[in-house]
Structure 1
Amino acid sequence: MREIVFDTETTGLSPIDGDRLVEIGCVELINKVETGRSFHCYFNPERPMNAVAESIHGLSDKFLADKPLFAEKAKSFLDFIGFSPLVAHNAAFDFGFLNHELGRCGYSAICMTRMVDTLAIARSKHPGAKHTLDALCTRYGIDRSHRVKHGALLDAQLLAQLYVELTGGRQIGMALGDDSASGGRKDGYNTASQSKNRKPRRNPRPHQASPQELLRHGAFIDKISDPVWRQA
């Protein structure tokens, strides 16, 4: 099953009040396993950045000034997500901005039946607890040390790991040696290696006997009279 985990950054809280999308990041999952395929883009919002929003994601007017308009990348985005379910944290917020932007450039809204909200899942599993992405990553032991500010692609990558944990854990979709989900496609989309989110693999510990141990073992064997392995 193919699913797309995504996150957005915006100029504010409400598209109805004129706020716009400035970044989107998407991560592809197949059977709850990251494939390495992603879609990521910044957008010129054609309006000033709200100071509070900038303090959260760090995207300034100057940085966004030469970025494409959403309308220029809308088709590429829609081609990437296809008809897959879309997973987001507080998904109604992201869907609201996304569908508003799609409507502005003449595309149909994405049906809300495709929405999978990890915030709702977390509230159901952990009532009364904190349900921010940071808090849930801490609960499930997901490394977020590299998350200094919000960023759509980084947050989508963290959310993909969290979504797997919320829906059953690491045992889902385990497939050794399956190259089909290795991210080796060459189709023009960004490829984000999963390895950067994994702990470094330890080298195997030495387990063979040392020369001194072999000598002691030989001396011990020599003391055994008429051993069975020497009998005809």
Structure 2
Amino acid sequence: MREIVFDTETTGLSPGNDRMVEIGCVEMIGRVETGRTYHCYFNPQRAMPSEAEAVHGLSDAFLADKALFADKVEELLEFIGDSPLVAHNASFDFGFLNYELRTCGRTEVCMTRMVDTLVLARSRHPGAKHSLDALCTRFGVDRSQRVKHGALLDAQLLAQVYVELTGGRQIGLSLAAEQQAGASPQAIAAAAGATPTRPRREPRPHAPSEEELSRHRAFIAKMDDPLWERVA
């Protein structure tokens, strides 16, 4: 299944009063990143509050020559298609995305397409911290490059977190399918990412030889009432 993990940066918290200034999208198929991304900055046509700039570092000067959302809406809609859209605290990102779509006369994204990783995290780890930073720490996702918020980087981090929240990369599930399909042991090992380190060795014979049996009989003949004789 194709899914799009995305994140937005904005001038504030209220769609309408505030505007989207950045979006980053990561394509996943079968919960695996394909390498395809979409990233764009937008001119919000309003001043950037200092509080918001402190979060993402996007200044009025930087955004002054960027395209309007309406100028990029076609390529954004083409990238996301009709796939489910995954975001952290997704109602926030959906609110801004749909406001921008309405403003330029386009159809809003249906909320049934929304997958909220914040809801997933709260369900899986009640009472824990659920920020993106906290989830990266919990699942061992490297966030060393995250000095400030950035839509594409945050979407890439969230894609890794999303995989962990939905079960991780359970190789064993794919191995069962390989076995049912009659795959060879070598193919199954390759699917698991394993590389044989030495050639397969045939089983060694383990039945005693006639000489060994003769020596055993001579050994127990020296015993008083040996157990082996009673069993026989």
Short-chain TM bin: 0.7 to 0.9
The equivalent residue for 1:22 is 21
Once the two structures are superposed, residues 116-168 of structure 1 have per-residue CA deviations (whole angstroms, 9 ceiling, x without a partner) of 00000000001011000000000000000110000000000000000000001
The equivalent residue for 1:138 is 137
Secondary structure in 1 aligned to 2:43?
coil
**Structure 2: how far apart are the matches of 1:70 and 1:117?**
24
The equivalent residue for 1:73 is 72
The equivalent residue for 2:44 is 45
Which ranges in structure 2 are unaligned for 5 or more consecutive residues? Answer: 175-196, 199-232
**Structure 1: how far apart are the matches of 2:38 and 2:142?**
22
**Structure 1: how far apart are the matches of 2:164 and 2:44?**
34
Counterpart of 2:151, as a letter, is A
Secondary structure in 2 aligned to 1:144?
coil
So what's the TM-score if we normalise by structure 2? 0.74
Counterpart of 1:59, as a letter, is L
Counterpart of 1:63, as a letter, is F
**Structure 1: how far apart are the matches of 2:117 and 2:49?**
27
Once the two structures are superposed, residues 36-92 of structure 1 have per-residue CA deviations (whole angstroms, 9 ceiling, x without a partner) of 000000000000001111000000000000000000000100000000000000000
The equivalent residue for 2:12 is 12
TM-aligned CA deviation for residue 170 of structure 1? 1.8
Q: Do structure 1's residue 100 and structure 2's residue 99 form an aligned pair?
A: yes
Equivalent pairs: percent with the same residue? 75
| Higher relative contact order structure (alpha carbons within 8 Å, sequence separation ≥ 6) | 1
Secondary structure in 2 aligned to 1:19?
coil
Counterpart of 1:41, as a letter, is C
TM-aligned CA deviation for residue 171 of structure 1? 2.1
TM-aligned CA deviation for residue 173 of structure 1? 10
- Structure number with bigger Rg: 2
Secondary structure in 2 aligned to 1:13?
coil
Which ranges in structure 1 are unaligned for 5 or more consecutive residues? Answer: 176-206, 209-232
Aligned residues: 178
The equivalent residue for 1:212 is none
So what's the TM-score if we normalise by structure 1? 0.74
RMSD: 2.0
TM-aligned CA deviation for residue 174 of structure 1? 8.9
**Structure 1: how far apart are the matches of 2:98 and 2:86?**
15
Runs of 4+ in 1 over 6 A off after TM superposition: 172-175
